[in-house]
Amino acid sequence: MTSATPAAPGTKLPILMPPHPMLRGRTRRVGPADMEQVRALLPDMFATMYAAPGIGLAAPQVGVGLRFAVIDLMPNETPAPVVLINPEVIRVSEDWAVREEGCLSLPGQYADVTRPARVAVRHQDANGATHEIEAEGLLAACLQHEIDHLDGVLFVDHLSALKRNMLLRKLAKERRQMAAG
């Protein structure tokens, strides 16, 4: 991110890292009784994502077991925040795309991930209205990445066991060095 990253009003939350079990659990659908809690968390989620800096953050990454995420690709370095409540992929293309991915829960770790090139996602916004997003490119990858988080899947799960284990060991070693530091 550049200096155009907005200063979101909200409190920066701690981002969980593997092997935290919250990252591997499936989230619960957001119901009407949860909406007040979700709306209250959104400013903190955006503040956390922008400060990292990142382009997406799912609730489990900050210790919340509800099915919602936030994204902002900052097109033309202009904030374009999107709230995804109860998102679900409803269509995928038959063609695939490879894109380098990283994750705020696995800082400094990047790898090429193969996913459907285009997706359609149905979700609700913070007011409960239902929307559909048709996406390709970075947005398609970001949507799939965040929805994966809501199902307990990390981007490294799309890699070979060898590559996944190398990245996770590297992250663990870096965390040990920082803690000893």
Active site residue 88: no
Residue pair 85/126 in contact (Cβ under 8 Å)? The answer is yes
C-alpha distances in angstroms, 69 versus 108, 172, 174? 21, 25, 27
Residue pair 85/30 in contact (Cβ under 8 Å)? The answer is yes
Residue pair 141/113 in contact (Cβ under 8 Å)? The answer is yes
Exactly one of 36, 88, 94, 146 is catalytic; name it: 146
- Could you tell me which residues come within 8 angstroms of residue 113 by beta carbon, excluding any fewer than 6 positions away? 98, 99, 100, 101, 141, 145, 155, 158, 159
The residue with tokens 């995928």 is 92
- Which long-range contacts (C-beta less than 8 Å, at least 24 apart) are formed by 96-103? 97/136, 97/137, 97/140, 97/141, 99/138, 99/141, 101/141, 101/145, 101/155, 102/155, 103/145, 103/154, 103/155
Q: Provide the annotated active-site residues.
A: 146
